[in-house]
């Protein structure tokens, strides 16, 4: 079990962000963890029929299986290291663990056409 899996399990068991788990996320992920927690608290993790999307400051990012469409994931992170995640992927894990995704019963691919 990775450290990421551990904090995700702890969140799921608690059903909420606990101080201990927030500390653990911040220790492992630093600023990325802080941005992820902020995104979850602001309900910016959107679950569509086809994708999970995190609304960033300038764009929306599709997250699938810890992979993300952001530049940080593309250029700065080791895709073979399961503990290196962009803040969007961290936010998705947090939101799912505590059941805080914003559910949309529609296809993101249809919504994206209007943006």
pLDDT tens digits, 69-105: 999 999 999 988 989 999 999 999 999 999 999 999 9
Bridge-based pairing state of the strands 45-47 and 102-103: parallel
Q: Is the pLDDT of residue 37 over 90?
A: yes
Strand partners, 68: 63
CA distance 111 to 99: 23
CA distance 50 to 54: 13
């Amino acid at each position: 079990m990775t450290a990421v899996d551990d904090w995700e399990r702890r969140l799921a068991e608690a059903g909420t962000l606990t101080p201990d788990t927030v500390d653990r996320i911040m220790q492992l992920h630093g600023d990325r963890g802080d941005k992820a927690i902020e995104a979850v608290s602001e309900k910016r993790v959107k679950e569509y029929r086809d994708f999970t999307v995190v609304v960033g400051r300038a764009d929306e990012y599709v997250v699938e299986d810890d992979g993300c469409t952001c530049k940080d994931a593309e250029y700065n992170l080791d895709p073979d290291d399961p503990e290196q995640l962009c803040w969007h992927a961290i936010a998705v894990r947090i939101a799912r663990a505590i059941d805080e995704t914003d559910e949309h019963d529609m296809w993101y691919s249809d919504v994206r056409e209007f943006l």
